[in-house]
Amino acid sequence: MSHPHPELGPPPVLAEGALRIVALGGLGEIGRNMAVFEYGGRLLIVDCGVLFPESEQPGVDLILPDFEYIRDRLDDIDAVILTHGHEDHIGAVPYLLRERRDIPVVGSRLTLALIEAKLAEHRIQPVKVEVVEEQRHAFGPFDCEFFAVNHSIPDALAVAIRTPAGIVLHTGDFRMDQLPSDGRLTDLGGFARLGREGVDLLMSDSTNAEVPGFVTSEREIGPVIDEVVRTSAKRVIVASFASHIHRVQQVMDAAERHGRKVALVGRSMVRNMGVARDLGYLRVPPGLIVDAKEIEGWPPEDVVLICTGSQGEPMAALSRMANRDHSIRIAEGDTVLLASSLVPGNETAVNKVINGLTRWGARVVHKGNAKVHVSGHAAAGELLYVLNLTRPSNFMPVHGEWRHLRAHAKLAALTGVPDDHIVIAEDGVVVDLIDGRARIAGAVQAGYVYVDGSTVGDVTEFALKDRRILGEEGFISIVIVVDTATGEVTAGPEIHARGSGIDPDRFDEVIPQVEKVLQDNAADGVVDIQQIRRVVRRTVGRWVSDNYRRRPMIIPVIVEV
């Protein structure tokens, strides 16, 4: 079983007739999915998504793949294929198209409509190539065939990429729901046909590789949602992913049956459901939807709200409702339905939201106490099924954290894939398919790129460390006026603090210590401003540590005269 090594160097020049695969995101993490394929000097990209920040990344809005590996080769890109319309697969496309606007964007009808609506906010008009299942389309040397797969959003696709180096099947995100609400099944027959032809490398969704058996059918969720709406005495507030069209349809159907109006809350929810309705993927009876601004005037027993925030995102509608920072006020007797599973790492944020909602008197229904969500990702039984259908010569698990990738690799070994033909890679690791064998060939840069407001890539790990210190320990500033000719202090020091938890009156104890080191510096003829800053920072830092066992950010401000 091949795996990455921390000492991997840059890869060699790609051998003639070989296919190179580099994941710039989506390996060892949930999100930021992006894979780059190279053959004959040309590039093909599959997915280009974002990762959402965690609490240790304060101030960050989104996390992008690092495009540095392809930045000097943008003209070599023949297309970017989008397997489906979730943010972790399409969210970074606007940032890629900023670098080259005419890269063809390939996807199904719904996926292209969702990305076009997103790109409109960035004032980018994409070059679109619409494809459907059972269709083949060549992009440069890459002969691509598309397969229907069932997922938690309509119109998802898998893609088989044919080159002279062999056939690679990339499943995208998928599951094998045998009774899907939209009737669109994963094309197992197509996978089997491809397996008979010979799959040289299978790249398959690993998110649920640790979950035994098969996922529950989407149809089993409808009656549970219906019961929640029927038995709720007041308002029902449903939190869901803004792209989960199947779930929104089930909620709307339940609201219609029980005589309730529906309001959509949140810009992304309104945008995506508008796209889905216009394309016929969402059935909305006339008069069912009302404007969210008018909803407060309706009797609470006649209302269902559908909003974002099922993952505890701090700026999403549900979190703001829990914090009393939203125009919609949670009231005693309201029912809140979290219609999604937890993305790993979001447990603390979601529990905080649940507690906040409960505090105001809401009944919170979630996956932990009711069957209100099924995963969009195949469980171990389904993954084994696909492995047995396709019988790949080589296997590379994708889309998941380390534990998911390793669990999926073990499943592949159970089906007979030799250990030395199983490649477990991480972001940036280069995998070459040469003469029917997939091997790790090196590594390239593939770190996090942070979006903070309108800036992209300006926030560094050092800046995040500073933000964490400021948020957890506060800061202390020391203002000193220094004669640059002599190094003598002409005014100050003045000490100010915010968020440090230190009584300002206590700073009188450390000021004499600062004055003494400054006098010693001046006596020694030290006039270098950076050295003065260092001794002031060291003196105050030692005093704070000795007396408070804290480590605030200490900022000496030297005014030169």
Euclidean distance between CA atoms 507 and 227, whole angstroms? 62
User: Are the beta carbons of 383 and 414 closer than 8 angstroms?
Assistant: no
Annotated binding residue 152: no
pTM of the model: 0.81
Euclidean distance between CA atoms 286 and 283, whole angstroms? 10
* Of residues 7, 389, 5, the one with CA closest to residue 204: 389
Encoded amino acid at 170, one letter: H
User: Are the beta carbons of 156 and 246 closer than 8 angstroms?
Assistant: no
Annotated binding residue 213: no
pLDDT at position 3 is 47
Annotated binding residue 375: yes
pLDDT at position 56 is 62
- Helices 529-548 and 511-523 pack at an angle, to 10 degrees, of 150
User: Are the beta carbons of 266 and 316 closer than 8 angstroms?
Assistant: yes
Residue 245 φ/ψ, nearest 5 degrees: -65, -40
Annotated binding residue 377: yes
User: Are the beta carbons of 238 and 337 closer than 8 angstroms?
Assistant: yes
The structure tokens listed for 506 are: 């206590």
Question: Of the residues 246, 366, 377, 408, which is catalytic?
Answer: 377
Euclidean distance between CA atoms 237 and 310, whole angstroms? 11
Annotated binding residue 76: no
The structure tokens listed for 159 are: 């893609």
Peptide bond into 552 cis (omega under 30): no
Cβ burial of 385 (10 Å; 0-12, 13-18, 19+) is middle
pLDDT at position 426 is 93
Annotated binding residue 5: no
Strand order in the sheet with 335-338: 261-265, 303-307, 236-239, 335-338, 363-365
Domains of the chain: 19-213+375-451 (3.60.15.10), 218-365 (3.40.50.10710), 461-560 (3.10.20.580)
Q: Decide if 377 is catalytic.
A: yes
Return the residue matching tokens 């060939």.
441
* Of residues 114, 239, 105, 252, the one with CA closest to residue 181: 252
Question: Of the residues 47, 66, 187, 205, which is catalytic?
Answer: 205
Q: What is the CA angle 403-217-339, rounded to 5? A: 75
What is the chain's Cα-based Rg?
Answer: 28
Bridge partner list, 455? 452
Annotated binding residue 404: no
- Spatial CB neighbours of 319, under 8 Å, sequence gap ≥ 6: 309, 312, 313, 349, 353, 356
Q: Decide if 205 is catalytic.
A: yes
Q: What is the pLDDT along the chain (561 residues), one digit of tens a residue?
A: 544 556 788 999 999 999 999 999 999 988 899 999 999 999 999 999 998 765 565 556 678 899 999 999 999 999 999 999 999 999 999 999 999 999 999 999 999 999 998 898 889 999 999 999 999 999 999 999 999 999 989 999 999 999 999 999 999 999 999 988 888 999 999 999 999 999 999 999 999 999 999 988 888 888 989 999 999 989 898 888 888 898 899 999 999 999 999 999 888 888 999 999 999 999 998 989 988 888 777 888 999 999 887 665 666 778 888 888 788 888 898 898 887 766 666 667 777 888 888 888 888 887 777 777 788 899 999 999 999 999 999 999 999 999 999 999 999 999 999 999 999 999 999 999 999 999 999 999 888 887 765 556 555 665 556 555 555 667 777 888 877 776 677 777 878 777 666 777 777 777 888 777 777 777 766 667 777 788 788 887 788 777 777 777 777 877 776
Sign of the C-alpha dihedral computed for residues 121, 72, 21 and 109 taken in this order? positive
pLDDT at position 459 is 58
H or E element: which one contains 128? strand 127-130
Euclidean distance between CA atoms 251 and 226, whole angstroms? 8
H or E element: which one contains 465? helix 461-473
